[in-house]
Structure formats: C-alpha cells, structure tokens
Amino acid sequence: MEDFAARLPKAELHLHLEGSVDAGMLHELDPAAPLEELRALYQYADFNAFLKSFGAVVKRLERPEDYALVTRRLLERLAAQNVRYVEIIIAAGVVLWKKQEFGPIFDAIHDAARGSAVEVRWILDAVRQFGVEPAMEVAHLAAARQDRGVVAIGIGGSEERGPAEWFKDVYAFAKSEGLHLTAHAGEGTSPESVWEALVLGAERIGHGIAAVRDQGLLRHLRERDIPLEISITSNLVTGVVKSLEEHPLRALYDAGVPIVLNTDDPAMFGCTLTDEYRLAAKAFGFTEAELTGIAENGFRYGFGRKGVT
C-alpha cells in the first residue's frame, strides 16, 4: 500500500494555498520572526482556534512575491506525490480583509504556477462571517480571471457565523458568469447546512461529513452526483470528528456518495495527500481498487479547463 498510494496518479480539489504554508516558510519570509513564535501558530484546541490561526498565517503573506514563493513550494510538493491536477483555493476574502490588492497577488501566483508538472486551476474563496459584500467582490474577482484558470468560487470560515443563504445573490451572479460553485458546509455543523449550500447551487461540498446523519441528504448527493471533498486528518485536528473510528468516510462511501480525498490545509494539519490515501486504507479498509476509483473521482469532479492560458 505504501508504494501503491504514492504511485497512484492523484488530483486534489480542496487545498488552501495558505494552509500549505509551514512555519519554516514563514520564517523564510520573515527571518526576524522567532521560529518558536511561528511554530506556536500551528496549534489549535478546536475549529475556531484553527480559523484564527489560518487568519494569522495569511496575515504573514504580505507581498505578491510571498504568495509566489509558497505557490512554488506547494506545487513542488504535489508533483513529488504524483498529484497531476489541483484546484488551489485562494482566500481572496482574507486578501480583501487585509486591504491588499488582489490583482498583483493573483498575477504572482499564476506566474509561479506556469511550467509546473501539475495542472493547476484556482478557486477563490470568500469568508462566510465577513458577510455578503466582500463575497460579492470575490465573485467579481473570480469572474474576471476565468481566462487564467479561475474555475469557481467557494465560501469557507464559520458556518455558524455566516449562513449560506446570505450568499444567494453572490452564487447566482457567479453562476451567470460561467463560474462553478463549491462551498464548505457540514464540516462541524449539521446536515441542514449542507442542504443550504445545495440551495445555493453548490456542485461540490467541502467536507459535508454531517450528511451522514441524514438519509435523505445522502440519497440526494448520490442521485445528483454531488461529491464530498473529504479530508480525514483535517477533521481530526480541528476536532469536528473526535476520533478516527468515528470518522464517517466509510459510511458515506458505502452510501454511494461520490468521494474525493484531499488535504485541506496540509501544513496546518501535518498531512500529505499520499498519507490520506494510506490512512483510508489502514483505518477503513479501502482496497487498492476502491482507492483507484476515489483517485479517478479527483479528475472526474474537477471543474477543469475552459480556454485557459
């Protein structure tokens, strides 16, 4: 299995650029910052503490060159794991919150991804609890960059402090512009939150693990062919799932819901995509044939190319 998971051609559909930044990279960007202080950012007691740390890491990415450097590092790591296709989520909502200009940052990461062995597309994420206005701005930023590989918008952050229904007009606008739609939902909350994301028109659900508690929702996801972007280690580290034994991956898979495996925030959760596949095999008995099918889902459910340069 060790070699099988490593060799398998893989795709990632739920991977935050900023969550791929480790303490070493932050130190490289700011050598004056004590390493111990930077390492302390990578400890979280719960999901909300994780969100705070995520924000603190993003704050340390100041210049477009910083974003470019971490993009190159991420793509090197993905190529080494035989990841062939990736949709990288950019916390555009946090860029706006930092009062930075998004254009030069996107230009820098787009340039950094040129020539990579990994085929790259981008998803611009808004932050739920920041509200509708900045989310609409994120949708406009995404719509204007579809010729450069932006394929979708999403919402992340706190489901409790930013209900999906707030973003109805944002998603309708994004759809009318030809963008695809995804949303973090049902991560630490409820099946209702997943239903709300579906009402918005989400074509994939980030996490969505709460769906396991709603048979009707499982049926809906299966029949409408809507995949869940699952990240096992993420769920354990943020504490939304209390133990590996309690993780619903096997139950969701057995219910016929399309599954894609992802790292979410690999540096912040100390995981790799290859290890997520190994974990699925070890903890839940996924066979090589099943893992091959899951890896194929990564390509099948990708939002893909449309006249990209």
Q: Which residues are known to be catalytic?
A: 187
Residue 53's contacts (CB-CB under 8 Å, 6 or more residues apart) are 41, 42, 43, 44, 268
- The least CB distance from residue 50 to ligand HPA, in Å, is 8
Are the C-beta atoms of 188 and 81 separated by less than 8 Å?
Answer: no
**Could you say whether residue 187 binds Zn ion (CB under 5 A)?**
no
Q: Which helix (H) or strand (E) holds 11?
A: strand 10-16
SS (H, E, C) 162-190: CCHHHHHHHHHHHHHCCCEEEEEECCCCC
**Could you say whether residue 187 binds ligand HPA (CB under 6 A)?**
yes
Are the C-beta atoms of 92 and 102 separated by less than 8 Å?
Answer: yes
Q: Residue 265: which of 63, 38, 70, 95 has the closest Cα? A: 70
In the complex with ligand HPA, which residue's Cβ is closer, 208 or 302? Answer: 208
Q: Which of 264, 266, 280, 295 binds ligand HPA (CB under 6 A)?
A: 264
Q: Which of 12, 20, 53, 54 binds ligand HPA (CB under 6 A)?
A: 54
**Token couple for 148:** 């450069």
Pick one of ligand HPA, Zn ion, none as the site partner of residue 229 (Cβ within 5 to 8 A by kind): none
Pick one of Zn ion, ligand HPA, none as the site partner of residue 12 (Cβ within 5 to 8 A by kind): none
Side chain identity at residue 20, one-letter code: S
**Could you say whether residue 265 binds ligand HPA (CB under 6 A)?**
yes
Looking at residues 246 to 275 of the shown chain, list those that interact with Zn ion (rule: CB under 5 A).
Answer: 264
In the complex with ligand HPA, which residue's Cβ is closer, 8 or 135? Answer: 135
SS3 279: helix
Size of the site for ligand HPA (CB under 6 A): 10
Strand partners, 26: none
Side chain identity at residue 32, one-letter code: A
Q: Which of 10, 73, 145, 184 binds ligand HPA (CB under 6 A)?
A: 184
Pick one of Zn ion, ligand HPA, none as the site partner of residue 187 (Cβ within 5 to 8 A by kind): ligand HPA
- The least CB distance from residue 16 to ligand HPA, in Å, is 5
**Token couple for 182:** 């995804």
Binding mask 73-112 for ligand HPA (x = CB under 6 A): ----------------------------------------
**Could you say whether residue 167 binds ligand HPA (CB under 6 A)?**
no
Are the C-beta atoms of 129 and 157 separated by less than 8 Å?
Answer: yes
Pick one of ligand HPA, Zn ion, none as the site partner of residue 157 (Cβ within 5 to 8 A by kind): ligand HPA
In the complex with ligand HPA, which residue's Cβ is closer, 54 or 102? Answer: 54
**259-261 and 10-16: which strand pairing?**
unpaired
Residue 19's contacts (CB-CB under 8 Å, 6 or more residues apart) are 54, 57, 264, 265, 266, 267, 268, 269
SS3 306: coil
Binding site for Zn ion (CB under 5 A): 264
Binding site for ligand HPA (CB under 6 A): 16, 19, 54, 156-157, 184, 187, 234, 264-265
